[in-house]
Amino acid sequence: MEHEGTYDAPGARGRLPGAADVPPAQAADAEPWHRQPAGPPAHPPMPHAGPPPAPHAAPPATPAEAPPRPRAMPPQPGRAPGAAPQSRSPFLAWLRTPRVFAGPGIWAYGYRPKPPEEPDRIPGRQLLSGAVIALLCGWLLGSLLWNGYLGSYWLWPLTVLTPDSWHQGMAAVWTVYIYYALCLGVLICVFGRLGRWPQVWRRYFAPLLARLWDDGGALPAAVGGSPHQDPADWPQLRAAGAHEAAERLAAEARAGLMNDVDHSRIERAWQTVRVQPGRLAAFTEAVLRHGAAACAHPSGARDLPVRAARHDLVTRQVRIGTAVDDERNPYLHRGTGFALDPRLLGTSLLAVGPPGSGKTDRLSRPVLESLCLQALAGRAAVVAVGAAGAGLAPDGAFDVVVRIGRPDSAYDLDLYGGTDDPDEAAAVLAEGLVGDLTATLPGEGGRRAATALAQILGPYRAAHGRFPSVPELRELLDGTPAAVASLRAALTDAGQEALIREIDARERQAHRPGDAGPMLADRLALLDRPAFARFFDTTDPSRTFSLRALEHPLRVRIDLPERGHAEASRMLARLVLAQFTECAVARGDRSLFACLVLDDATHAVTPEAVRGLARLRSANAGALLTLRTLDDVPESLRSALLGSVGCRMAFSGVTTWDGARFAEVWGKEWVETRDVTDRQVIAHEPLTRVTHVVRRLVTGRAVTAQSVTVRKVERERWSASELAHAVPAGHAVLSVTSVRGNSAPPVLVDLQR
């Protein structure tokens, strides 16, 4: 049992390049578990051919393969643990750190709940200074009383209220000291109340003692553990009777041979065992055989070549910054880490900011890195789309890299999304080709474009068993007599005379005004260029990647040829977005979280794309879209786009026009305002007038009195002007919503911390 079927999906129609021929992470006669395993290659080899593995089938064993060594260990990914056992290893410290889910977007790793909010909270400096002054005053008064400088009047209650027998012998000693203790208690109560000593204790000393107790007391557990059990001992396996597997995993964890990806991957495999108890024996055998490398990813990789962000695979969060300790932020978020996870990305995220504001480095790359780690753990499938050289992530972090327009690309992109249905292929292709022009086409432009393509794709596939290539499709849309005659003859030879009516209908519509055929042909001409001669070839499916493979934990990057082919890149971005929304919803197995990271969605947002984004939430999928400005989206779609996503992010430097859209969607809130009015005090008494004159001569100001009016008003959470001018560089305002409907108001986040 190598991966326990975690990466297999029944009924998958798309081809997963190399899934069946990827070398497994372990071999039958691999090195023993206690030896130092070899490191993973910089870029695992991915063969070109081969269908996806059969459901619940393990890949074949390769006798020369050794388990790859993880490159990073949490919480410091850049450091690799030593082979010798460690009592305080970084991995064990990471695993045993408690996690607290305090709210959407809050970094749960090591989070400590904040005390209840105090609206009239006294500043710390004022509180401490008052406590010290009260202590000194109480000490001075007590010293004066003790040394008799204030007389003996304070001893009068002792002599009057006690009987004479208490003032003789040892009783007198006890009586005096008890009276002294009562007086000391009165002094402490009075000056403690004046100096607010209980508040100082609650604010500064009680949390310190609680922290020391936690560090020296019971062992904390990760999310889902029992507080009295060590998660490194795998108690859930022991409870199910898999003691030998738990012992093996615990030994490798303490020996430094396990990392956070291994832990998450084995946890994922164990979840499948809990659903199907009959696979417990196979799971135990795999763990005993391969240890921490059991249930490996088809690529054999157990970590990424490099990490640039902080990740927590227990909660599946990636930290992107720290919420600023500002009164405009909600009290619960102030000073806490801010993180994203699939529960939030499942509602999709739209980020808007000018070039250089950090959309790629501080948002797209950390999120993509987190999704790649989750894919290695068998929990996610990710597709990243960006311009060539955008620096999303190195090649070694992906299983498939499609470099469109590059002759050295090992993979091609399926123009039809891996479907066999001509109508479905026509609808998706029409969205990619002319989706941005559907509003300008006469009549129902999108429907007419899809109908025109279906009238060609259906007959062509029936005649040739495949869809046409770009040059063939362009000739048929142009109505070239030779191409049309050849298709008629092929249909006749294949016995598909009934489909000739589709060709006849296409010829009739081609002569009508407003036909979508010429527009489609013009757009296809952008792809019928020498730079794309090797791409979009339907005759060689072995090197073609299809988004139908989203049922597998794949890591895919698609590089668009933005330089010199800007319009073609935008068209391909629309096509990938349309294919993703269609394929993610049509998956038979939705256990994996599927996510599309579109680094630049300029001219990629269409009416159909907005509707597709709204459907992703119920399909355990989401998308991350970045824009330089909302002006890159048609005016009629801007409000709909902001409403279709659950997470919205405005970077520093947005325009007031963009800020107005965000301010509108974030709404208003009730706040308490104070209006302070100064009025001049007019004195009527002679002595008071003299005092006011002297005070005015000294201060240069008239004597005034302040009038404070407190009221509640409704105002915008963030105004357009504040978003455009009050957000510092390296910051962003972000609001999130989970797939279950929990939301957090917009929070100012420092992306550099």
Q: Quote the pLDDT of residue 445.
A: 63
Question: Three-state SS for 160?
Answer: helix
**pLDDT recorded at residue 119:** 65
The pLDDT-based confidence of 48 (bands split at 50, 70, 90) is very low
pLDDT digits (tens, 9 = 90+) for 81-95: 333 344 468 999 999
Contact between 372 and 398 (Cβ < 8 Å): yes
Q: Which residues pair with 734 in a beta bridge?
A: 649, 747
Average pLDDT over residues 203-224: 60
Q: Is residue 465 one of the residues assigned to a domain?
A: yes
The mean pLDDT value of the chain amounts to 83
Percentage of the chain exceeding pLDDT 70:
84
Averaged pLDDT, 143-154: 82
Tell me whether residue 456 is in a domain.
yes
pLDDT of amino acid 307 = 94
For residue 141, what are its two tokens? Answer: 């008064």
347-381: pLDDT as tens digits: 999 999 999 999 999 999 999 999 999 999 999 99
Asked if residue 435 lies in contact with residue 633, where contact means CB atoms within 8 angstroms, the answer is: no
Q: Above 60 in pLDDT, residue 66?
A: no
Query: Is residue 621 situated within a structural domain?
Result: no
User: 49 is written with which tokens?
Assistant: 């051919």
Is the pLDDT confidence value at 573 over 90? Answer: yes
Distance CA 247, CA 160 (A): 76
130 domain residue, yes or no: yes
* 119 vs 481, more confident: 481
Q: Which amino acid is at 655?
A: T
Residue 206: predicted pLDDT: 80
pLDDT in tens, 525-549: 999 999 998 889 888 888 899 999 9
User: Which residues, including other chains, have CB under 8 Å from residue 458's CB and lie 6 or more apart?
Assistant: 422, 423, 499, 502
pLDDT at 510: 87
The predicted-structure confidence for 299-315, as pLDDT tens digits, reads as follows 999 999 999 999 999 99
**Residue 749 placed within a domain:** no
* Per-residue confidence band for 441, with pLDDT thresholds at 50, 70 and 90: low
Predicted local distance difference test score (pLDDT) of residue 117: 73
Question: For 6, phi and psi rounded to 5 degrees?
Answer: -65, -30
pLDDT above 50 (res 40)? no
Residue 586's pLDDT is 93
What is the mean predicted confidence (pLDDT) over 129-149? 88
Residue range(s) defining the domain that contains residue 151: 124-195
Q: Return d(Cα 310, Cα 317) in angstroms, integer.
A: 9
Among residues 295, 344, 294, the alpha carbon closest in space to that of 316 is found at 344
* Domain stop point among 468, 501, 532: 532
Q: Are 322 and 336 in contact (CB under 8 A)?
A: yes
More confident residue, 598 or 206: 598
Whether 293 and 261 have beta carbons less than 8 Å apart is answered as no
Task: Tell me if 158 is assigned to some domain.
Answer: yes
What confidence tens digit (pLDDT) does each residue in 688-716 have? 887 878 777 767 778 888 787 888 888 89
Instruction: Give the pLDDT of residue 255.
Output: 92
Residue 77 has pLDDT above 80, yes or no: no
Q: Is the pLDDT of residue 15 over 80?
A: no
- Would 304 be classed as within a structural domain? no
Nearest to 199 by CA among 139, 118, 141, 137: 118
Among the residue ranges 123-127, 225-229, 261-265, the one predicted with the least confidence is 225-229
Q: Does 728 map to a domain?
A: no
Confidence check: pLDDT of 21 > 70: no
Closest CA to 397 of 261, 548, 239: 261
pLDDT at 714: 86
Question: 394 pLDDT band (50/70/90 cuts)?
Answer: very high
The pLDDT score that the predictor gives to residue 653 is 95
- The percentage of the chain sitting over the pLDDT mark of 90, rounded to a whole number, equals 56
Q: In this predicted model, which residue has the larger pLDDT, 634 or 64?
A: 634
Residue 27 has what pLDDT?
32
- CA 133/CA 737 separation, integer angstroms: 48
pLDDT of residue 411 exceeding 70, the answer is: yes
Q: What is the mean pLDDT of residues 468-487?
A: 93
pLDDT confidence bin for 616, thresholds 50/70/90: very high
Is pLDDT above 90 for 79? no
CA pair distance 505, 274, nearest whole angstrom: 56
Phi, psi angles (nearest 5°) of residue 594? -105, 135
Reduced to 3 states (helix: H, G, I; strand: E, B; else coil), residue 163 is: coil
Rounded-to-5 percentages of helix, strand, coil across the chain: 45, 15, 40
Q: Give the pLDDT confidence of 24-38 residue by residue, as tens digits.
A: 333 322 322 222 233
Burial of 155 (0-12, 13-18, 19+ CB in 10 A): middle
Per-residue pLDDT for 143 more than 70?
Answer: yes
| Structure tokens, 387 | 């311009």
Tokens 């553990």 belong to residue: 225
Domain final residue, candidates 139, 165, 195? 195
* Residue among 286, 285, 278 nearest 262 (CA): 286
Locate 674 and state its tokens. Answer: 């104070």
Confidence of residue 574 (pLDDT cuts 50, 70, 90): very high
Q: How many domains does the chain have?
A: 3
Compute the distance between CA of residue 403 and CA of residue 390 in angstroms, rounded to an integer: 12
Mean pLDDT of 448-466: 93
pLDDT number for residue 571? 94
